[in-house]
Chain A
Amino acid sequence: MKTLLILGAGTGGTMVANKMVHELDSREWEIIIVDRDETHYYQPGLLFIPFGIYNPRDVEKPKRDFIPLNVKLILSDIELIEPEKNRVLLSRDKQVINYDYLVIATGSHIHPKETEGLLDGGGWRKNIFDFYSPDGAAELARYLKFWKGGRMVVNVSEMPIKCPVAPLEFLFLADWFFHERGIRDQVEIVYATPLDGAFTKPRAAEVLGGMLEKKGISLEPNFNIGEVDNKKNTIRSWDEREIPYDLLISIPTNMGAEVIKRSGLGDELNFVPIDKHTLQSSAWENIWVIGDAGNAPTSKAGSVAHFMLDVLIDNMLRHMEGLEPLAEFDGHANCFIESGFEQGILIDFNYDVEPLPGKYPLPGLGPFSLLKESPANHWGKMMFRWMYWNILLKGGEMPFESQMTMAGKWQ
């Protein structure tokens, strides 16, 4: 018997398990997937929890429900990957798993420790919160419910972060939420980002920056946080700029899993170096990487993991047959951006083409307006949760093509 071992049963790993189970002959192959956590979190839903739109239960389901019966799910911490021995060590019962092929899908996670004073200065979960973790989002919801207002600063510690539009969505929703609560005039909203504008790509940065302005949200660009001063309630940049806050919403440094570092497989942020077009590990032929865990220079997003899926599966199957992998992944990303007041924006881009305005053709559902607010984009975003649980995770056909298309885009 041969073994396909998948590390991580989040968005990417679950999809790979569901696809591979149909591709590999079960008389020849055993498929094993390992994750430490028995709960699957629908992470895009974390955005809505602080504002009471979703509650924590709305984004949780048991992982087991999404893993096919003939795939073996092991709940355990992954301790070490030893690529030169083709094996992985688990904490649980000190198991050792030998593999023929390995898929790394261990994602990326927040590391508030990386910023001085963020986690250990006394304000964490008192007037400093994150919404990138399930418990952070839930605690923030409790806090915002009774907050009387003041100066709210949203700060991104360091790029890259997963779902780079989420901080903007948070700002737009906060503006809406404080309106609804009738205290918008009591709240000052500030966005402090290391980027030189609202977003990484120029056309989108312009549109999104304009929206911040229209909503009365002030932008502090090129802000690279050095420390949080919990006594003065101030964040300070490396070049000594200070921004005072009453409430600090932090998107801490995002890094790949610790096990990647321990195993010597990562770059300086514990992301695994890969060929950005084939998704094969740069160092090991039989290791493949999907989703946030790799260092492909595109957004870290569930939609991207989905667009990677077909290329990854094809290339692994080709490799098993002794064929060269195809360089087919183009960095395709597409994100619905919730913009408050039941409106949304859609952006669609890849390694070479930045988000452009136009229409996104979607048979049966669309078209959706690109880079422009519309109610349909809001409903697209809300519908995404259903599609995520029911289609995407199961490796089903989504109405989006893996490779980006220029159809409908205005240049």
Chain B
Amino acid sequence: MTQDILDTVAFDDDGFMEDAAAWTEEIAQAIAEALEVNLSDRHWDVIKFARQEFETQGEPPTLRLITQQTEVSMKEMYQLFPGGPAKITANIAGLKKPTGCI
């Protein structure tokens, strides 16, 4: 089921969606499952914020911005998206890979 959905989506070399506009909540579920993240309401708050930021700013939000603008704390972000919260959020939200730093 998950794989069927993922097969319909174009990903770049880093595994991020090529077209953010093609994203749906089912796709998010499928990516999350593949990454072994169990999506709760808290996850969705973050994902929706990330989508909204991307729409207005054209870039996925940084971890700092997410924790400033949502109720979710830094500590919780690491629990919700272990390994790399900003990257994984962007990944599940169907956004491009965060440019990170220089």
Contacts and interface: CB of A to CB of B under 8 A. Distances in A.
Interface of A: 158-160, 164, 195, 200, 222, 224, 226, 238-239, 267-269, 297-299
B82 interface: yes
13 contacts: A159-B101, A160-B101, A160-B102, A195-B101, A200-B102, A238-B77, A239-B78, A267-B65, A268-B62, A268-B65, A268-B68, A269-B64, A299-B102
B101 A238 contact: no
- Chain B: interface residue count, which band? 10 to 19
Interface in B88-102: 99-102
Contacts of B62: 268
B75 A297 contact: no
Contacts of B34: none
A226 B102 contact: no
The secondary-structure label for the interface of chain A is: loop
Contacts of A164: 101-102
B64 A200 contact: no
A160 B64 CA distance: 12
Given A268-B64, A268-B65, A269-B64, A200 B100 contact: yes
B74 interface: yes
Given A268-B62, A268-B64, A238 B102 contact: no
A224 B83 CA distance: 10
Contacts of A158: 64
Q: Which 4 A-B pairs have the closest CB atoms?
A: A159-B101, A238-B78, A268-B65, A160-B101
Interface of B: 62, 64-65, 68, 74-75, 77-78, 82-84, 99-102
A164 B101 CA distance: 10
Contacts of A224: 78
A238 B75 contact: yes
Contacts of B82: 239
Contacts of A226: 74-75, 78
Contact of A297 (B68, B78, B83, B99): B99
A298 B68 contact: no
A334 to B, nearest CB: 13
A258 to B, nearest CB: 16
A189 to B, nearest CB: 23
Nearest to B84: A222
Nearest to A301: B102
A200 B101 contact: yes
A158 B65 CA distance: 13
Nearest to A222: B84
A28 B29 CA distance: 63
Nearest to A164: B102
A298 B65 CA distance: 19
B94 to A, nearest CB: 22
Contacts of A239: 78, 82-83
Contacts of B84: 222
A84 B74 CA distance: 34
B37 to A, nearest CB: 14
| A160, A164, A238 — most chain B CB neighbours (10 Å) | A238
Contacts of A160: 101-102
B4 to A, nearest CB: 32
A297 B65 CA distance: 16
A158 B37 CA distance: 25
A238 B68 contact: no
A192 B20 CA distance: 34
B100 A238 contact: no
Nearest to B77: A238
Contacts of B77: 238
Contacts of A238: 74-75, 77-78
A297 B64 contact: no
A407 B45 CA distance: 49
Contacts of A267: 65
Contacts of A159: 100-101
